[in-house]
Chains A and B, each alone.
Chain A
């Protein structure tokens, strides 16, 4: 796999505040890589160092084989960026912004096709200030993609958007990757990271504490999952405690929660229910998420 971004021991401080303490990571061609962590963890600073926007104090960075500071001009032509909470001129029209941006690069996509792909064709002549939050973000994605970059940086892309607009954006990002572009994004939304990212890096107080595929991280740090069902049968908890995959079984009235781990856990529970002919009125499984991994690794929830 081709390495698109390579960072080792990146450090950056503002005065006496340490923004990034020690970050090392690799991003490979064609993946969606997410840097996740709470606000102030160092996500944006890391990203800005990768874009050549900030000078790192320590460590080495290579992006598309270039040094982001020394080769800043060459790099800008090959990457697309979207900044957190950015604005444009209030009264610039959508087509004017896309037209201006596409005039700045030597090789560009068909802007009409791009606007249609992002669902903005009906808003071509609308002023920026009249767009909804989701439309603004889609326009910023258009501006980041107008020159067919090899790598796109997206900083807190869906913060402040409603769930529907968020889903639309997620689909767009998946499509960007399908087109062969590598995506590096930051988010503090665990659901977003879990849905979109091939791999995530968890950052906390300027340090990377874990890197991996979301599902693999969940398996590694929070292997336990649960089956919750309702049944009026007696002695349910005791029945399940004998199963080897089960860690605990508790009953609260007719609601029973069986916790365990391993590939066979859910199957074993279902077999036992069938074997004993238990009459079950409700049945669901509960799996841990990246949010639980974060809580386990840092000791606090990400929205703290």
Chain B
């Protein structure tokens, strides 16, 4: 059913682009935030912040927002499609359940990649000399992170009661993970309990992996984080096959 997968993905991509707010939130917002925050932090008063570098990596924040935005949008779409009977109608076709859901994930990953490309292009223009990261490797790390967090999104999509709750529940679960991710405070300086919680969240490993690649170390140095993301993916996917509801 490869033909069905491409057709469905293509239709879903077109439908997604036609909704201006959704498109802006998923693609434009992380890039704009990256540019604005980057500017502000780089031009901050010298006596308040060290001039050399911002207190955290704004590019990784942007990348993480891309991942979380994709997940939030996936949760919302699955909830809306379930409530509207769209999932049920698609299941009544010869399409396999896996194809139907893969198309949704595929579209989210594709848009995450578009957003990342915009972020890199903007970064190279606005902050020349800073963006010397291996873009392919970084994109790979972001895709793996997004993939892993998307599987958490499926679990969320399974348990949100109605489409109306999808957005707030998504926000409430996803964005607080940023605080413990190690992006703003190094994980080893957190209280012990918070450290354990941080290690149990995919975002923490996503940040560690992307930070490592940003700093120039290769995948080999961060195989534990990459492995953790894959384990998260496996566990969440297994969980969502048990709890996912089509209607």
Contacts and interface: CB of A to CB of B under 8 A. Distances in A.
Interface in A123-181: 127, 143
Contact of B92 (A83, A88, A89): A83
B4 A91 contact: no
Contact of A104 (B18, B85, B94): B94
Interface in A248-269: none
Contact of B19 (A87, A91, A99): A91
Interface in A63-111: 73, 76-77, 81, 83, 85-92, 96-97, 99-101, 103-105
B18 A127 contact: yes
A86 B91 CA distance: 13
Contacts of B164: none
Interface string B1-32: 10110011001101100110000000000000
B171 to A, nearest CB: 22
Contacts of B8: 100
Nearest to A51: B92
Contact of A89 (B3, B4, B11, B93): B11
Nearest to A88: B86
Nearest to A77: B94
Interface residues of A, number: 25
B95 interface: yes
Nearest to B83: A87
A180 B44 CA distance: 76
A53 interface: yes
Nearest to A79: B92
B21 to A, nearest CB: 12
Given A91-B18, A100-B11, A104-B4, A86 B93 contact: no
A73 B97 CA distance: 12
Contacts of B1: 104
Interface string B68-111: 00000000000001001110110111110000000000000000
Contacts of A104: 1, 4, 7, 93-95
Interface residues on B, range: 20 to 34
Given A100-B8, A104-B4, A89 B95 contact: no
Nearest to B8: A100
A86 B94 contact: no
B220 to A, nearest CB: 43
Which of A53, A85, A103, A143: most chain B CB closer than 10 A? A103
Given A76-B94, A100-B7, A92 B89 contact: no
Contact of B15 (A53, A85, A86, A92): A92
A117 to B, nearest CB: 21
A83 B94 contact: no
A53 B4 contact: no
Contacts of B3: 103
A68 to B, nearest CB: 12
A76 B93 contact: yes
A51 B8 CA distance: 23
Nearest to B22: A91
B79 to A, nearest CB: 13
A83 B15 contact: no
B116 to A, nearest CB: 25
B88 A86 contact: yes
A247 B93 CA distance: 56
A87 B84 contact: yes
Given A86-B84, A87-B86, A101 B11 contact: no
B15 A89 contact: yes
B94 A73 contact: yes
Which of B12, B85, B91: most chain A CB closer than 10 A? B85
Minimum-distance CB pairs A-B, first 9:
A87-B84, A86-B85, A91-B18, A103-B7, A89-B15, A81-B92, A91-B15, A104-B93, A104-B4
Interface of A: 51, 53, 73, 76-77, 81, 83, 85-92, 96-97, 99-101, 103-105, 127, 143
15 contacts: A53-B88, A77-B94, A81-B92, A83-B89, A86-B88, A87-B85, A88-B84, A88-B89, A89-B12, A89-B86, A99-B7, A103-B7, A104-B1, A104-B4, A104-B7
